[in-house]
Structure 1
Amino acid sequence: MRHITRLTLSLAVAVLIAVPALFAAPATATEFTDMDVCLGRQVLARMLCKPVEEINYVSKLREDMYLFSVFYANRETHFFVGVGNDIIRVQGKEFKTVTRTISYKFDSASRCGVVEYVAPGCPASGRIVCCAQKSAEETLEDTFWDRPIPELLEEDLRKALQGANATEPEDGGQQGQ
């Protein structure tokens, strides 16, 4: 009986330690579907040496797995793209030999994925950068700080002067007579 009680206590302590750690974990790239779809389209376009506009997002198959379609090898072809754990895995549905595993970096501060990938024989080169959409609050904060400093100072001065001049008129309430 004591053995079961100690085991139960040990298990309870382990759960109490593990659960807060799960909620305190930093954001991972897989939380941002819009960024994952963007990365999938860009990487697939680079891999097939096609314009991004020709890559069509079809659907989200499951968490971190997306389906794209493109005109390839004289017909409409589908590709699976998995994004997660700092890799992007691309595999053709009809053409299993068209398979690539490409690493990428996720910057949690800017919530952007960056891919360094050059397809042989394709003139497109350079970084592929896709960022997750920002919330309305984050966008408002960015627009505030993107303004020039003199404009920010002018706005503060205007607000301060309006606050100082917002006193009641001293004519004893006999306005307009």
Structure 2
Amino acid sequence: MQSHENSSTLHLASLTRDLQSRDERCRANAYRDMLNLAEQGDGKAMFQVARCLNQGIGVDADSTRADHWLRLACVAKPASTDALFTYGMSHVMKQRAGADTSKGIQYIERAASAGYVKATLELVKLVEHGHTDIKPDLRRAYRLLANSISSHSDVALYAAYASFVERHQPITNLLDS
């Protein structure tokens, strides 16, 4: 089973690289193959199909179909962390009809808890500074960062943690009592 997963991951990476080609025929073929993987239930491929449809990569742009594949990528098993983050941010930034900030935060939290560093950093920023319907909460932002560095080893997370602690000295007022 492990070798099948590795093969699938390599194939997906190759197709993703082909989507960046300057050759339109190569991009179209990569989109077709990516769509095939997406139709088989691959969440990462679903996200790439959504991206292609949204940006017109290898296929004519179609925002309605792009949104359909983005939402499917969020419920795939496993879900695409890129899709969870993108969908969540579209709610937070009020870029979609019926945008719901709390729903957006839930999707971003799912991406962050799955180890998507970009989602963690953006979530901390939203919670630290607040945004539209989100009130600033320094304790929660600190806990998000502290928990993320204890479960994921990443240079960007450590840098964000150090910067956060430096900005909010003394840190003792953010520690749980």
TM-score normalized by the length of structure 2: 0.19
Decide which structure has greater strand share. Answer: 1
Higher RCO (CA < 8 A, seq sep 6+): 1
Larger radius of gyration: 1
TM-score normalized by the length of structure 1: 0.19
Decide which structure has greater helix share. Answer: 2
